[in-house]
Structure 1
Amino acid sequence: MTPGDLVRERREELRWSQARLANEAGTAQSVISRIESGRLNPTVDMLARLATAMHAELTLGILPRYY
């Protein structure tokens, strides 16, 4: 799953429009649309803002690869 997929999934769970999420996160609806469609890679700061707005937790990790 991409970050945009995760954002869209959580937004839809909340039954929020893109405009509502944008308003809650202090950004434009077009930014949400571009993130969800994969046309914009969000920064960690933006993902944190979106997670906070959606009452979610942002967790980042680096996992080992096994060859």
Structure 2
Amino acid sequence: MTPGRLVRERREAIGWSQARLAQAAQTRQPVISRIESGRLNPTVDMLARLANAMDAELTLTLLPR
């Protein structure tokens, strides 16, 4: 699952609009839209900000190929 899809699913689960998430994560709504649509690959820092804003835990796992 892509990071954008995970962000969208969590955002929708808590009933937030993209604008509300953007405000909470101190970014702009078009950034959220581009992340969710896969047109922008978020940095780890941005993912951490989004997770924190949505009271979620960000876990990164590196798996062997």
Q: TM-score range by the shorter chain?
A: over 0.9
Partner of 1:14: 14
CA RMSD in angstroms, aligned pairs only = 0.5
Q: How many residues align?
A: 65
**The structure with more radius of gyration:** 1
Partner of 2:50: 50
Deviations 1:6-63 (A, max 9, x none): 0000000000000000000000000000000000000000000000000000000111
Q: Distance in 1 between matches of 2:9 and 2:31?
A: 16
User: How far 1:64 sits from its partner (Å)?
Assistant: 2.0
Partner of 2:31: 31
Structure 1, unmatched stretches of 5+, are none
